Amino acid sequence: MEVFERRRLRVVLEITGLDLCYPEKVAGVFNAMATLLSDANAPFIFLLAVDPGVIVPCLEQTGCMKGLADNGYVYLNRAVTLPFSIPEMGARSRLRSVQ
């Protein structure tokens, strides 16, 4: 397809809702991400929306971190390239948004 389009194509995968999954599935998603991104020329971009306070205990419960990191935050930091957080909205900010 890239040959016909004459441009580099990207596949964007949005990952949300991991807080609803069992710990083994959460670890499986991270393993799949690592596999797909193992090639430097991989056409994949992952948008991962998670609450670290929920995901880290899931990762720590599974065996996926053995030999890689002592805690889930280190593991998550290694898996995410460009982390950022959105602060919680206060009551006033929510009211202004609604108005």
**Per-residue pLDDT tens for 9-46?**
789 999 999 999 999 999 899 999 989 999 888 889 99
The answer to whether 50 and 18 are in contact (CB under 8 A) is yes
> What is the DSSP-derived secondary structure letter of residue 71?
S
Report the amino acid identity of residue 97. Answer: S
pTM: 0.75
